[in-house]
Amino acid sequence: MRLFIFISLAIILGACASKQAEKANGEIDPALYIYSENLGWKHKVKTKVKYHDEVLFGKVKLRGGMSSKYFKHSYTMELKLDRSIGGLSADDDWILNANYIDKTFQRHKLSYDLFREMSPANRAPKSAYLPLYLNDNYEGLYVAMQKVNGSWLNFDKEAPGKACLFKDAFIFVEEVLDNVQEPDNYYQQKFPDLSTVDYKSELDKLRYLIFNASDQEFDMRVGDLFDLRNVVDWQLILIHTNNHDGLYKNFYIYRLPHETKFSFIPWDYDHSFGRDGDYTLNLIENELGWEKMPLFKRLTSSETLNYPEKLKKQRLTLSPVCCSGPRRAFMWDGRRAIYNDAGFAPLRCPRLE
C-alpha cells in the first residue's frame, strides 16, 4: 500500500511539474530556469534566470548543511531587481528548497502557514511550488520560499532603530560554546550589519534572564524582553509538529525597530510530523521534551505568570486551524498524545507519510 501511495504521489507531482498551472497558493507555477556555471557552496556566482518569459539577472549559490550530501540541491538566489515568484510578494532574495528528504513537500509550508494563521503578528516565510531547470536540465519540483532577512521584515537600513535579527542564536545554551560557525558573530546577527551595530549585549541579557535571574526577577522582566504571545505560538507549533530539531536551533529571533520585546520565526521544519531529518520514520515514538528547554521550563514553572493557562487557551484555537479545509486529508496519529504533563487535553499529532 505504501509503495502504491508513493508511486501515485510521484506520478501526480511529475504531472503537475510538467504543466503550466495558474499562479495560486498551493498550485504549481511556471518553471524557473537558471543558467549558471561553476556553482559552489560558499560564494554566489552570476546567473541568468528565465521566468514567465522574462530574463532576469542576479547571483546564485548552493545551500544546505546535512542536505548537501543529497544529489538534489537547494539554492539561494539573489536577483538584481525585486520580482514575484509563485505569486508571492516581490523580492530580490529567494530560497529554492529541494525538499529532498520530505517527499510530501508539505512540512515546511504547512508548519509556516499554521504559525502565521495562529496570529496576524506572527511572521513565517510563504512558499510556492515550481519546477526548476538548471542549464536546461530538469532538476525536479522545488519549493520557492521567501528568505528571512531585514528587508523581508521591512527593516530600514538607513533608520533601523532598535531592529535586529539573529539566526539560531545560542540563547538557550548556558555554557559559552567554543566551536561556533562564526566566532566573531556568536549569536549569528543577520541585521543590522555587524560593522554598524553589534547587538550581542542584548542577547546576553536574554541568556542572563533565562539562566541567572531569580524567579522574581524573571517573572518581572520576561514580558518586557519577550513577546509572550509569540512565544506561546512558537511553543505550540513545536509541540504540534513534534519538531525535535527546533528547540535549540532552527529559528530566527528578531526585534522590531521601536520594540523592546523579541519574537521568534520558525525555520527548517523537515524534521517534523513523524519523520526525522534523515527521512527515517520516528512514528512519534519520542515526544518533544519541550519542558527541558530552559525558557519554556521557567515560563511553565512560574507561579505568577499563568503561562500554562495561556498555552491552554491558545491551544483551543489551534485544532480548528489545523483541521480546516484540505488539511483534513492528513491522517492523525491516534496512538500518542504529544501534549503531556502541562495539563493539556490530548491533541493528536498529524503524521505525514
Predicted confidence (pLDDT) per residue in 113-153, tens digit: 999 999 999 999 999 999 999 999 999 999 999 999 999 99
The whole-number average pLDDT for the span 229-252 is: 92
Say yes or no to pLDDT of 347 above 60.
no
Spatial CB neighbours of 94, under 8 Å, sequence gap ≥ 6: 76, 77, 78, 79, 85, 144, 145, 146, 147
Query: Among 100-109, 243-252, 301-310, which is the least confidently predicted range?
Result: 100-109
The residue-averaged pLDDT of 245-267 equals: 95
In the prediction, which pLDDT does 243 show?
87
Q: Can you give the pTM of this predicted structure?
A: 0.84
pLDDT above 60 (res 20): no
The pLDDT value recorded for residue 3 is 42
Predicted pLDDT of residue 147: 97
Distance CA 22, CA 112 (A): 22
**How buried is residue 31: exposed, middle or buried, by Cβ count under 10 Å (0-12/13-18/19+)?**
buried
The whole-number pLDDT of residue 38 equals: 86
- Could you count the other beta carbons within 10 Å of the beta carbon of residue 87? 14
pLDDT tops 60 at residue 18: no
Largest CA distance in the chain: 62
Per-chain mean pLDDT for the chain = 83
The DSSP call for residue 351 is -
Helix/strand/coil percent split, the chain, to 5 = 30, 25, 45
Answer yes or no: are the C-beta atoms of 108 and 145 closer than 8 Å: yes
Higher pLDDT, 67 or 75: 75
Selected residue with higher pLDDT from 324 and 92: 92
Q: What is the pLDDT of residues 289-300, one digit of tens each?
A: 888 899 999 999
CB 260 within 8 A of CB 162: yes
Closest Cα to residue 34, out of 76, 81, 86, 82? 76
pLDDT of residue 68: 66
Q: What is the pLDDT of residue 146?
A: 97
**CB neighbour class for 52 (10 Å; exposed up to 12, middle 13-18, buried from 19):** middle
Q: Specify the pLDDT at position 293.
A: 95
